[in-house]
A and B are shown apart, each in its own frame.
Chain A
């Protein structure tokens, strides 16, 4: 499976070598993100957070509401560019490229870093077309039907939809819709998958399926996931980043408290704040 990853790496670096985008980064990392300051207009949303995201692993972002974990996640594929007042001081390095460098096209970045959102958001088109969307977008010339089937199988949805590929993606149940969105995101084989609370709109059974799926997917993809559910983090995440929110300056500024292997974070947190949060004490 690492073979596919490397193939994509080579592909990506070949494309971007032309600009002055190249950066050195540890080979074990898929993304090296350092947020010194992240602003929306004058509002300092996140500060001082360094998040190395390891290849082939699941990194979970946890923390109280408003701590900026979703904001950081959305900076990793430049989704925040949609907000005009957004400004990042720091860097996001992705497989040897600085994605905030001047000549980088955020649209291209998003084709390499897929995203699954909190609310299932299939397009108002057939199941098949939903999954084929990214392939067609990238003008994929090969066997689209085969790729679609492969993506649906990997998303553990194939058996449920193989007889209704022409049905609307919106006609599926919530859990199926979310797996459809995952299939859509992985159909183009992006090396990294970002998931923003992918299970928060789902019931426990659907949640369980998505979690199993994530564990299977990490063989081929690097996953970064925001979750509100700490059990979920312990179940699926290899590494966990714990964010907190600092209200001392008057505003609400999120920051990374500590990051490490999930087991260490949950069993032997270094910081008092982490300990308190995990015990359910809120300051």
Chain B
């Protein structure tokens, strides 16, 4: 389990790095392609609660270090905020872990789609924090696309990520919920 945990951490790091080079999808009004959340949501399902919290901490921290500019004195989104933002949908995902442990491809597919549905929440929450800090909230079609567009893209990406990570966990001798995994 520990080995797979660190593999997921590395994959999340690499996906944040990869995202830096992905241009926004212009026909979706500039919506971003987000891969890291899909890997994070898989981790929420695969790991027991303490490891889920550790993964949330690492993912949220990396998210802020990679994308949030720290321009003094106008820091309106301090590093660490995203940990709390990732925690909420992560808890929802972790709550469905019993379904994940059934090892059915169909169930995994629908859980991947749930991950895609939860992805816009991350952007919506970031937008809410920024709106609160900057004292102004407004919605336009562009903003709605930026919030929900990545979710639409994740509908395709998340199942691919899930169906790659499950064989990978087996390759690393980790089958969640089964005995003897803690030492693997």
Chains A and B belong together in one complex:
no
